[in-house]
Amino acid sequence: MPLQKLHNLVRVIASVYKGCLKLNWQAARVDSCKEDLVPMAKEKTATAQTIGRQELSRRIAKQAKLSQKQASEVLEATLDSIREALQNGDEVRLVGFGSFKVRTSAERKGVNPRDGKEIVVPAKERVRFSPGKELSEAVEKK
């Protein structure tokens, strides 16, 4: 089989098996890679994108008719206020959006992946976000 046909065949097989095959081009053969198997990342849909602080402040500026600098300052002040409240142990509740609160996870037993020995994972404070009803409904309708 010519190398180009083999290459095309491998591409088809690899797309079906989501990258679970690797090529050894010098020997012109396909080797399975179960031991080297790395799952492919899920592709984002065409409409999904990550919104960062800069884009968020740009959108706030446009909607609130502020300069981008003012919107950025408002966003930073808001995030700082939420951070401070959580550090003080307060709950931040934004009606219609959701609430942030600090929860303490209990101490638990775990396994060290390097040596398989049982370890104790200490209790830890974590931030928990619970979406509000309106936010949940808005995401559902999308």
Nearest to 102 by CA among 110, 112, 92, 94: 92
- Classify residue 10: in a domain, yes or no: yes
- Classify residue 15: in a domain, yes or no: yes
Which helix (H) or strand (E) element contains residue 129? strand 124-131
pLDDT at 3: 57
Could you list the residue range(s) of the whole structural domain that residue 62 is in? 50-89
- Classify residue 42: in a domain, yes or no: no
Task: Say whether both 110 and 124 belong to one domain.
Answer: yes
Q: What is the mean pLDDT of each run of 10 residues along the chain (142 residues)?
A: 55 51 44 48 65 94 94 95 96 95 95 93 95 93 76
Query: What one-letter code names the amino acid at 102?
Result: V
Task: Say whether both 103 and 135 belong to one domain.
Answer: yes
Residue 110 bridge partners (DSSP): 119
pLDDT at 27: 42
Number of domains in the chain: 3
Task: Say whether both 102 and 138 belong to one domain.
Answer: yes
Task: Say whether both 103 and 79 belong to one domain.
Answer: no
Task: Say whether both 80 and 55 belong to one domain.
Answer: yes
The CATH number of the domain holding residue 135 is 4.10.520.10
